[in-house]
Chain A
């Protein structure tokens, strides 16, 4: 029924569609905020050029938003279509933030985005500004609820397993919302979105400045993007979610994988800058280390240890053995013998039930698992270290490069001399892919680092998938990939076409292609 191929294909489909969706999401979040800022400046100063900025960047925003909405539908459908056991097992908890996201955020964003595009003549200046802000707030609230849901997958607090219904149920909804992992993730993720929007505006504006076109328009866009981007990248880095890695076992394991810390070191541990982590020998070859750095970054103290992978595995093995007992006691309850005594026996060990379920990959009879199977399941509790190690370093590298860019860009824009620094403009232009490198590798670390769990310590990914055939899932992967390829070609075609045209596409008569000579506005 469930084969490893089916799980791999289901995971591949989810990863593919989620990463594709997240090409567009951060740009929506970032641009929505930038549009609100630009329009606020327009309303405050009354200068038409700021309205043109809202209209022009709004056009690009619209092209991006449409495909973001379309690919977001896939995510909403996919939990049910491909992860039906997951949906049953945690829907009581996980479904709520998704539904509230719809009610509180997505409705707001989508209703007002219609007025944003169509309401210029129907609304007063202030009404329209309010509409734009509501779109920005809606997209941020949307991110909040999605990340509450995702944070719960990493650190599932405020919920408990109910043997009568065979699923997780909410015990404390406030704990779910104020889950520290979710809060840290939210700040980190939306700030990364702001950075994406800022780089987008900065890079395209730099291109106009390099081409010496629509200078006034480009210079002002550049300045807003540089200031907002600098504030955002600082939030991303300073409030980076390393601070969330102390909480919960999954996060601890992820931290050890990120740092390739095979063995617990004395505090404060050294930070491995680069190296080649080896999953077989549990060593990192050719490692270059910075003394003390990791202990300080990861625990923000000099005397707290960062637990190494070997020790984590020892802890996991104990919990797997406990989980076998939990599973056996659950079977007694499910068979109908629900005496208070049996319930109490199950309650003693139920926090390790999830670890017991890890054995399902190897045997139907969890209670009789062999030593060999326990060893395999223990090894499974460590995610793929080398790829996480490197993805993390790509993310951080992209982050620091963008920090450098924004510092320079902000400095130049306060001096009003950015257009005389072609090297800076080129740096900005070629930095365009950086935020996407950052967000995609960041999600890779967060989600691959969560393996083997779909819900940390509760539900293995292996058990979460729908009982479909591999042919079904392979078929859907191929179809989705084909459609998504066509979609991105169309999207990029339009995006590039309008970006090349610049504000001339507004047909105000004020910009480059509508005039015979190059003229500053």
Chain B
């Protein structure tokens, strides 16, 4: 079908698509739940917020599950190194994610203000933490991760959890939180009215500005202050996989090299910034769909910016640069990539179709009056 080199590239794109799919779909319900206690002041208002996502959050979360599954299948050693290396960070994300299925489903089952308010705050924190940690982990990729491979490909990680919380990592975490919160707020603008709409609109204005500042700030920092990595030996694109057979060097400004070499890639940060500005302006003139488009562009632009800068790296190693994992040498076999490509080519379009159908069926403004008239079937 395709040669190995092409499939490697396709899978780099596909994992990117799954991650962007996750950020676009689960992103808005993470963001909207972060805002839950703030845009919803009364119980009915909070139920409105939850019910805008009620039919969808479950499907949205599968983007994350599938992205992790695809990582396992397409880049096994990246899955192995990142999950075991970021052990406590991953577990904290996991524990935070526990709160969401339970919070969504259990919160409104009991009519007790204490019960509900506890779940609201649990949900809020449980959505804030993954949004932050994903960004922090992504940011740390640019700094290099302290791991190495031995001759049997066993991974040894020498860093700890607190090492992740360096200033650049935290800044990247803030980019992520601001981005997803803006996205959640534009979603709520589309699906609610009156006070919730107004509060969400203010949230878009606030967090779009935070996003623009942190995103541009992180970009400048990366450009001026962070050593990049690059592969300096020849890469055997079609050969067998052996991460250890290459030479990697730290150099400056390594992470900007792709933008110099392929100016077309500069479109990614531009889309990110334009998206942020669009979300801000559209919210200001009360155009919610346009604002949602803006926050979506912002996410696509920001994730592509990071992916393009790292390319071909997936996980550079700071203590043994030769152990760095790239999308050329950390991948599955030719055969597995081919099979998985066929599976993705069949199922991703199907998923998009029925997901779209479910959104169309459930579309409409959720109003406080509807919620109050329906105490038992909805969240």
- Chain A residues at the B interface, C-beta cutoff of 8 Å: 1, 62-63, 65-67, 69-74, 76-77, 79-82, 84-85, 87-96, 98-104, 106-108, 110-115, 117-120, 122-123, 162, 164-167, 169-171, 173, 334, 466-468, 472, 476, 479, 483, 487, 490-491, 494, 497-498, 505-507
Asked if residues A169 and B335 are in contact (CB atoms below 8 Å), the reply is yes
Known contacts being A82-B84, A107-B351, A113-B58, is A73 close to B105, with CB within 8 Å? no
For residue B3, CB closer than 8 A to chain A, the reply is: no
Among the listed B102, B109, B332, B361, which residue makes an inter-chain contact with A119, where contact means beta carbons less than 8 Å apart?
A: B361
Contact of A91 among B80, B97, B242, B344 (CB under 8 A): B80
A101–B65 alpha-carbon span in the complex (Å): 10
Q: Is the interface of A mostly helix, strand, loop or mixed?
A: helix
Contact A70/B77 with A99-B343, A119-B362 known, Cβ cut-off 8 Å: no
Contact A103 B65 (CB under 8 A): no
Is A80's CB under 8 angstroms from B62's CB?
no
**Known contacts A73-B94, A102-B70, A119-B362; is-contact A66 B105 (Cβ 8 Å):** yes
Which one of B66, B104, B155 lies within 8 Å of A466 (CB-CB)?
A: B155
State the CA gap A167–B79 with chains docked (Å).
15
Asked if B220 CB lies within 8 Å of chain A CBs, one says: no
Q: Nearest Cβ in chain B — how far from A477, in angstroms?
A: 11
Write the residues of chain B forming the contact surface with A, with a CB cutoff of 8 angstroms: 51, 54-59, 61-62, 65-66, 68-70, 72-74, 76-77, 79-84, 87-88, 90-91, 94-95, 97-98, 100-102, 104-106, 109-110, 151-157, 240-242, 332-333, 335-336, 339-340, 343-344, 347-348, 351, 354-355, 358, 361-362, 375-378
Other-chain contact of A468, B87, B240, B355 (Cβ < 8 Å): B87
Are the C-beta atoms of A85 and B69 separated by less than 8 Å?
Answer: no
Query: Is the pair A111, B58 in contact by a Cβ cutoff of 8 Å?
Result: yes
Q: Is the CB of A79 within 8 A of B72?
A: yes
6 new A-B contacts at CB < 8 Å, known A85-B80, A114-B54: A82-B84, A91-B72, A98-B69, A120-B377, A171-B335, A494-B109
Complex partner residue of A67 from B102, B151, B339, CB under 8 angstroms: B102
User: B80 to A87, Cβ gap below 8 A?
Assistant: yes
Least Cβ–Cβ distance between B282 and chain A, in angstroms: 27
B61 touches A87 (CB 8 A): no
- Do residues A99 and B80 form an inter-chain contact, with CB atoms below 8 A? no
Task: Assess the A99–B340 pair: CB atoms within 8 A.
Answer: yes
- Complex CA distance for A67 and B105, rounded to whole angstroms: 9
Q: Which residues of A contact B361 (CB under 8 A)?
A: 115, 119, 122-123
Question: Smallest CB-CB separation from A115: which chain B residue?
Answer: B358
Q: Are A87 and B76 in contact (CB under 8 A)?
A: yes
With A and B bound together, what is the CA distance between A332 and B356 in angstroms?
A: 55
Residues of B within 8 A of A479 (CB): 91, 95
Is the CB–CB distance between A70 and B98 below 8 Å?
yes
Q: List B contacts of A118 (CB < 8 A).
A: 51, 54-55, 362, 377-378
B98 touches A487 (CB 8 A): yes
Residues from chain B with a CB closer than 8 A to the CB of A80 are 68, 72, 79-80, 82-84, 90
Residues of chain A lying within 8 A (CB to CB) of residue B90: 77, 80-81
From A85, A92, A108, B332 is in contact (CB under 8 Å) with A92
Asked whether, in the complex, the Cβ of A112 is within 8 Å of the Cβ of B72, the reply is: no
Q: B362 and A115: CB pair below 8 A?
A: yes
Interface of B is mostly: helix
Interface centre among A81, A90, A117, A476 (most CB of B within 10 A): A81
CB distance from B79 to the nearest CB of A (A): 5
- CB pair B74–A85 under 8 Å, yes or no, is no
Q: How far is the CA of A74 from the CA of B94 in the complex (A)?
A: 7
Contact A62 B241 (CB under 8 A): no
Is the pair B95, A483 in contact by a Cβ cutoff of 8 Å?
yes
Q: Give 8 nearest A-B pairs by CB, closest first.
A: A91-B76, A80-B83, A95-B73, A102-B66, A114-B55, A95-B72, A111-B59, A84-B80
| Interfacial chain A residues near B80, Cβ < 8 Å | 80, 84-85, 87-88, 91, 466
Q: With A and B bound together, what is the CA distance between A71 and B102 in angstroms?
A: 11
Q: Is the CB of B72 within 8 A of A164?
A: no
Shortest distance between the CB of A1 and any CB in chain B (Å): 8
Q: A67-B101, A466-B155 are in contact. Are A114 and B56 (CB under 8 A)?
A: yes
Q: A104-B343, A164-B241 are in contact. Are A122 and B362 (CB under 8 A)?
A: yes
Q: Known contacts A92-B336, A102-B65, A106-B62: does B153 contact A166 (CB below 8 Å)?
A: yes
CA distance in complex: A487, B332 (Å) = 37
A96 touches B355 (CB 8 A): no
With the chains together, A52 CA to B78 CA distance in Å? Answer: 48
State the Cβ distance, B276 to closest chain A Cβ, in Å: 30
10 contacts between A and B (CB under 8 A): A69-B101, A81-B90, A84-B155, A92-B73, A99-B70, A102-B62, A102-B66, A103-B347, A334-B151, A506-B376
**Cβ-defined contact, B153 with A63, below 8 A:** no
Q: How far is the CB of A503 from chain B (nearest CB, A)?
A: 12
A81-B87, A122-B361 known; A70 vs B62 contact (CB < 8 Å): no
Contacts of B61 in A (CB 8 A): 69, 110
Contact B69 A167 (CB under 8 A): no
| A99 & B66 in contact (Cβ 8 Å cutoff) | yes
Nearest-Cβ distance from residue A467 to partner chain B, whole angstroms? 5
Given contacts A63-B106, A113-B58, A494-B106, contact A106 B82 (CB under 8 A): no
List residues of chain B with CB within 8 A of the CB of A120.
Answer: 377
Provided the pairs A74-B94, A118-B55, A472-B88 are in contact, do residues A167 and B105 lie with their beta carbons within 8 angstroms?
no
Q: Are B351 and A103 in contact (CB under 8 A)?
A: yes
Contacts A88-B77, A120-B377: A95 and B358 contacting too (C-beta < 8 A)? no
- Given A69-B58, A73-B98, A170-B333, A111:B358 Cβ within 8 A: yes
Nearest opposing residue in chain B for A94, CB measure: B72
A119 to chain B, nearest CB (A): 6
A95-B76 in contact (CB<8A): yes
A467 to B, closest residue via Cβ: B156
The answer to whether B153 and A167 touch across the interface, beta carbons within 8 angstroms, is yes
Is A70 a contact of B72 with CB atoms below 8 Å? no
Most buried by B among A84, A87, A164, A467: A84
Q: A63–B105 contact, CB under 8 A?
A: yes
Interface centre among B51, B61, B153 (most CB of A within 10 A): B153
**Closest chain B residue, CB of each to CB of A466:** B84
Which A residues are CB-close (under 8 A) to B100? 70
A88 to B76, CA, bound (A): 5
Q: Nearest Cβ in chain B — how far from A132, in angstroms? A: 14
The interface residues of chain A lying within 8 Å CB-to-CB of B340 are 96, 99-100
Residues of B within 8 A of A73 (CB): 65, 94, 97-98
Is A162 in contact with B240, judged by CB distance below 8 angstroms? yes
Q: Judging by beta carbons under 8 Å apart, are B77 and A114 in contact?
A: no
By beta carbon, the residue of chain B nearest A87 is B80
**Are A103 and B154 interface neighbours, CB within 8 A?**
no
Query: Which of A79, A91, A111, A170 is within 8 Å of B355, CB to CB?
Result: A111
Measured between C-beta atoms, what is the minimum distance from B195 to chain A in Å?
A: 23
In the complex, the chain A residue whose C-beta lies closest to that of B91 is A476
